Amino acid sequence: MPRYQHTATFDAPVEEVWAWYDSPGAFRRVMPEWEGITPLQAGALVNEARTKFKVSLGPMKRLWVARHYNVIHGEVFHDVMEKGPFGAWDHEHRFVPTGENTSEIHDIIDWKLPLHPLTFWTAPFTVKGRMKQMFAYRSTRVQSDLARIREFSHLPRHRILISGSTGLIGMQLCAFLSAAGHDVTRLVRPSTTLPSDAVKENTVVWNDQTGEVISGSLDGFDTVIHLAGAGIGDRRWNAKRKELISKSRSIPTRNLAEHLARCENPPATFISGSATGFYGNRFNETLDESSEAGKNYLATICQEWESAAQPAADAGIRTVWIRTGLVVTPMGGALKKLLLPSQLGGGGPVAGGRQYYSWISLDDQIYAIHHLMMTQSCSGPFNLTAPTPVTQKIFAKTLGRVLRRPAFMPLPGFVLKIMFGEMGKALVIDGQRVLPKRLEEIGYRFEHQDLESCLRQCLGKQRLP
């Protein structure tokens, strides 16, 4: 069988690296964003524990079941594929100390394809490139997570309540905070379906429209992070959809803020969602947290959303509003919708392409929330955007360059309006040039300051030696 070997170097002792891998959130964190993997069960690092997930193979998803064996705590673990798309897959993860505060992981994989005679001559273009990108991504993600955890390791771990935990940001945030050693509880509605790998996690169930707590308690948490809300870009807007977008934000936020204000043991910190739509359509005007609110529909929604959290601030709870930009990841949001037309060569300037996109990588979105949570001096609004917003035309050209596809085919604005109506104008044609002024002032360090490095990492297109 062919063998693949990879060595990852970490600025952390073996004990910390092992603890990260053995955390409940590690499996979701380590899966590459572009692979379309759906975790079903994350096995602990003990013998006979099983990890299950579905992996995309073109338009199809295949179940992969891996069993851990020969586990020696802090030194090595193996997993062997019991069911999956390969003919065989046996993976050794060996943790090697290289200094007092440094270590390596040596990965050795013996594998073969289902039709084994084809394995050797097809491997260079069927498997090896994908493996190299996957392990490069994994090494970077683990190293970055460990660095962010170490930054605040001198502070106590938090007991955290998170709403919107099944959303794009919420799922990764829960995974990272668990890997960082925090105690995470999910605030859910009775109709919420948790991911299969999270069904055993702690929950508080409530009616977000009335504020009634059905099971559990909102009392005694150190931090509450409120991210829930109906998707803005999920479907075309009509009167009913716009009402849902508004009610799913302002009413639950006010109910939650008022409930926290009445708690016998209220949280020290309340982090409440918002968006850069707060600023409205501002063309090329440079905006920061001191800029005035806009006047269009999304700006009004964001203002109401932020106002709804005010009861928590009035009660003396440190309240932070996170005005999130365009989160760049192929797992969802705008990039997921742009990928297919861009891969087909259909990317290009939309409505002239001069409108600004204030983007942020998924990693920076997660790390920035963590930074704000752990930095007790922070309160008020913070823009969660990269420091280098780009025009839509530059965004399309950069994506085309990463995908090695042309990006010159224009799309007139009126076509977009016909296709998507008011939503298309608000989300694609309108724009804001938003800077993370306050985030930089408190010393936050960005993982991705330029769009191309972000796209290359999250799409598995890194330039590797």
> What proportion of the chain, given as a percentage, has pLDDT over 90?
75
Q: What's the CA angle centered on 321, arms 316 and 323, to 5 degrees?
A: 175
- CA pair distance 128, 394, nearest whole angstrom: 32
Q: Using pLDDT thresholds of 50, 70 and 90, give the confidence band for residue 264.
A: very high
**How confident is the model at residue 241, as a pLDDT?**
87
DSSP for 146-199 reads: HHHHHHTTTSPPPEEEEESTTSHHHHHHHHHHHHTT-EEEEEE-TT----GGGT
CATH number of the domain that residue 108 is part of: 3.30.530.20
Residues 189 and 100 reside in one and the same domain: no
Q: Is residue 300 part of a domain?
A: yes
DSSP string, 317-377: -EEEEEEE-EEE-TTSHHHHHHHHHHHTT----BTTS-SEE-EEEHHHHHHHHHHHHH-TT
Whether 465 is in a domain gets the answer no
Give the SS3 label for residue 424. Answer: helix
183 φ, ψ (degrees, to nearest 5): -95, 110
What's the confidence (pLDDT) of residue 119?
55
CATH number at residue 327: 3.40.50.720
Count CB atoms within 10 A of the CB of residue 3: 9
Q: Kindly state the percentage of the chain with pLDDT values over 70.
A: 97
Question: Do 34 and 179 fall into the same domain?
Answer: no
pLDDT at position 29, please? 95
Residue 96 pLDDT class (50, 70, 90 cuts) = very high
Q: Are residues 319 and 252 in the same domain?
A: yes
Per residue in 367-425, pLDDT (tens digit) is 999 999 999 999 999 999 999 999 999 999 999 999 999 988 887 777 777 777 777 77
**Whether residue 446 sits in one domain with residue 334:** yes
- Domain assignment of residue 26, yes or no: yes
Integer Cα distance of 101 and 76 in angstroms: 18
pLDDT bucket at 238, cuts 50 / 70 / 90: confident
Residue with the two structure tokens 């009035």? 314
C-alpha–C-alpha distance, residues 241 and 366, integer Å: 28
**What confidence score (pLDDT) does residue 113 get?**
82
Confidence band, pLDDT 50/70/90 cuts, at residue 120: low
Q: Are 223 and 271 in contact (CB under 8 A)?
A: yes
Q: Which of 90, 124, 151 is the last residue of a domain?
A: 151
Range 309-325 average pLDDT: 97
Mean pLDDT, rounded, for 447-454: 97
Q: What local confidence, expressed as pLDDT, does residue 386 receive? A: 98
Q: Are residues 401 and 292 in the same domain?
A: yes
CB 327 within 8 A of CB 365: yes
Task: Please give the average per-residue pLDDT across 105-111, as a whole number.
Answer: 96
A 10 A CB-CB count for 264 gives 7
* pLDDT tens string 125-169: 567 888 999 999 999 999 999 999 999 999 999 999 999 999 999
pLDDT at 124: 59
Between 338 and 22, the more confident residue is: 22
Q: Which domain holds residue 172?
A: 159-458
| Spatial separation of the C-alpha atoms in residues 303 and 334, rounded to whole Å | 23
Q: Give residue 348's pLDDT.
A: 85
Per-residue pLDDT, averaged over 184-188, amounts to 97
* Residue 95 identity: F
Mean pLDDT, the chain, integer: 92
Strands of the sheet containing 88-99, edge to edge, are: 3-10, 102-112, 88-99, 76-83, 60-72, 50-57, 38-41
Q: What is the DSSP string of 240-266?
A: HHHHHHHHHHHHHHHHHHHHHHH-SS-
pLDDT of res. 230: 84
- For residue 464, being part of any structural domain is answered with no
User: In the listed set 98, 124, 151, which residue is the last one of a domain according to the structure?
Assistant: 151
My answer on whether 111 and 219 are in the same domain is no
Dihedral of CA atoms 37, 41, 42, 47 in degrees, nearest 10, equals -130
User: Which residues does residue 61 pair with via DSSP β-bridges, in sequence order?
Assistant: 56
Where is average pLDDT lowest: 88-102, 219-233, 249-263, 414-428?
414-428
Task: Identify the domain boundary among 116, 151, 186.
Answer: 151
How many structural domains is the chain composed of? Answer: 2
Residues 143 and 188 in one domain: no
Count of positions (residues) in the chain: 465
User: Phi, psi at residue 275, to the nearest 5°?
Assistant: -155, 160
137 and 242 housed in the same domain: no
In sequence order, the 6+-apart residues with CB closer than 8 A to the CB of 194 are: 165, 166, 186, 188, 201, 203
- 436 in the same domain as 366: yes
Tell me: do 74 and 188 sit in the same domain: no
- Residue 190 located in a structural domain: yes
Rounded distance, CA 448 to CA 413, Å? 30
Q: Which two tokens stand for residue 405?
A: 């596809």
Statement to judge: residues 201 and 70 lie in one domain:
no
136 shares its domain with 180: no
Instruction: Flag whether 463 is in a domain.
Output: no
> What's the whole-number mean pLDDT along residues 227-252?
88
pLDDT over 70 (residue 312):
yes
* 384-416 as b/e: b if 16+ CB within 10 A: bbbbebbbbbbbbbbbbebbeeebeeebebeeb
